[in-house]
Homo-oligomer: A and B are copies of this chain.
């Protein structure tokens, strides 16, 4: 059986810096109507970089979770930008590293209320000696952590970021 929801009407309730919020009325498969709260986002790009068994991570304060989180380097796709360009740009800005980036994994972070797509790349042939060059208002520190420690930190709930967790477990499932 195939399901579909048809948009009947929509309004933009907020149009901001990194997201837009639209509230749409839709027709459900049984002909009744419902509301859909839609966060519109331009998408994200991230990079898994493993060097000699160590994972490149950035640590930054995440206001929504009220604490510092470890994540793989990532950022928001700017309007009209290719995701591979975003990934390379964020990797360079946040860590100074340049690399050949190969598509690795694509995730929809939370399917009920955002249209964000996060494209994750894996770094090959990296040049590690560049300098970090953060945007204004961006504060983060960079580290390499052994895969075994990153795995332990996921298991203990210290690392929860979905793009990081899914990329690391993909990597672990392929490299044992």
Interface residues of A (CB under 8 A from B): 1-5, 13-14, 16-19, 21, 23-24, 26, 28-30, 32, 34-39, 41, 44, 60-65, 68-69, 71, 76, 105-118, 136-137, 139-141, 154, 157, 160-163, 165-166, 169-170, 172-173, 176
Known A16-B23, A63-B38, A117-B160; contact A32-B137, beta-carbon cutoff 8 A: yes
Q: How far is the CB of A167 from chain B (nearest CB, A)?
A: 9
Q: How far is the CB of A107 from chain B (nearest CB, A)?
A: 4
Q: How far is the CB of A90 from chain B (nearest CB, A)?
A: 12
B162 touches A173 (CB 8 A): no
B63 touches A24 (CB 8 A): yes
Sort A-B residue pairs by CB-CB distance and give the 3 closest, nearest first.
A169-B169, A109-B110, A109-B109
Distance, CA A109 to CA B71, complexed state (A) = 12
B105 touches A110 (CB 8 A): no
Residue of B nearest to A151 (CB): B173
User: Which residues of the other chain, B, contact A115 by a CB distance below 8 angstroms?
Assistant: 64-65
A-B contact pairs, 20 of them (CB 8 A): A1-B141, A14-B14, A19-B113, A21-B21, A26-B63, A28-B139, A38-B63, A62-B108, A65-B111, A107-B160, A109-B110, A109-B162, A110-B110, A110-B114, A110-B163, A114-B114, A162-B162, A166-B169, A172-B173, A173-B173
B111 touches A64 (CB 8 A): yes
User: Which residues of the other chain, B, contact A117 by a CB distance below 8 angstroms?
Assistant: 160
Residue of B nearest to A111 (CB): B62
